[in-house]
Amino acid sequence: MLAKDKTNLKIEEIRMHKHHEIHRVKPLMPALCRIRQGKKVINWETHSLTVDNNQIILFPCGYEFYIANYPEAGLYLAEMLYYPIDLIEKFQKFYAITDQIRNTTGFCLPQNPELIYCWEQLKTSIFRGFSTQIQEHLAMGVLLSLGAHHVNCLLLSDSKQSLISRCYNLMLSEPGTKWTANKVARYLYISVSTLHRRLASEGISFQSILDDVRLNNALSAIQTTVKPISEIARENGYKCPSRFTERFHNRFKITPRELRKASRE
């Protein structure tokens, strides 16, 4: 049975001890990255940024990023804050956010005291298991601290409530499920032919979405947990570890073991 649709805020810590590069990373929901130590290089389309621990990176949906992480004094440390679709919808209802021309070079901004305050309070509320309402309130505070321009850049750079986003949201609830186009179409209350047609109009296939969800979710788990790689593979729909390693390497140009090794001192 699928998990009920609810806000699932999380701040994940990425702790690495060796330089590493990851290709074709695709955020499945809007995210913010706060560098605590070291630096990060990101490339997308024709743009490139080098970010240190005085800045916040915006990762909107709809883009593929090349990422390189560089430790400082033997440690790269960053925190990732992900924004679920339902929280974004609430924020847009509460605050007048209007669509603007996309600025695809504005994915970085300096940290400021309001942002850091809200971030730390949100992190505490998540770790201590405070109520959903408190967590959402603080998460919206983080968004407000970005300023209107950067909020637009983060939340509206991809089509709101696109079918792609709905598919991501559904599959992320249980990435290890044997998802088929027929099953997804039933959950979204559309015909399978409509699903394929509308995805084609958005420039993507069903299999590409499934691969995006499983591989990027596995990438996050390898970076932020100590679970065995074989377990991560199973949780993301790969029963054969060697098949998982092959698909992972083809996508990110690094093997799961190489990435896990970079996290060890």
Sorted by where each begins, the domain ranges of the chain are 2-101+108-160, 162-265
Name the band, by pLDDT with cuts 50, 70 and 90, for residue 5.
very low
- The CATH number of the structural domain formed by 2-101+108-160 is 2.60.120.810
- pTM, 2 dp: 0.90
The rounded distance, in Å, linking the Cα atoms of 219 and 259 is 9
Would you state the pLDDT for residue 61? 86
* Residue 12 pLDDT: 94
Per-residue pLDDT reduced to its tens digit, 89-119: 888 888 866 655 455 557 899 999 999 999 9
pLDDT of 4 higher than 50: no
Q: What is the pLDDT of residue 7?
A: 54
Task: Spell out the CATH class of 162-265.
Answer: mainly alpha
Average pLDDT value for the chain: 90
Alpha-carbon span 169 to 263, nearest angstrom: 28
Strand bridging mode 65-70 / 20-25 = antiparallel
Res 158 pLDDT > 90: no
Gap between the Cα atoms of 142 and 226, Å rounded: 28
Residue 1 predicted with pLDDT over 50? no
Percent of the chain predicted with pLDDT > 90: 74
**pLDDT (tens digit per residue) in 23-64:** 999 999 899 999 999 999 999 999 999 999 999 999 988 899
Among 80-84, 232-236, 255-259, where is mean pLDDT lowest? Answer: 80-84
- Give the pLDDT confidence score for residue 42 in this predicted structure: 97
Confidence of residue 162 (pLDDT cuts 50, 70, 90): confident
What is the arithmetic mean of pLDDT over 156-162?
56
Whether 3 shows a pLDDT value over 50: the answer reads: no
- CA 13/CA 78 separation, integer angstroms: 6
| Per-residue confidence (pLDDT) for residue 95, from 0 to 100 | 82
| Distance (Å, whole) CA 217 – CA 39 | 23
Question: Could you tell me the pLDDT band of residue 156, with boundaries at 50, 70 and 90?
Answer: low
Helix axis angle for 113-127 and 132-146, nearest 10°, is: 160
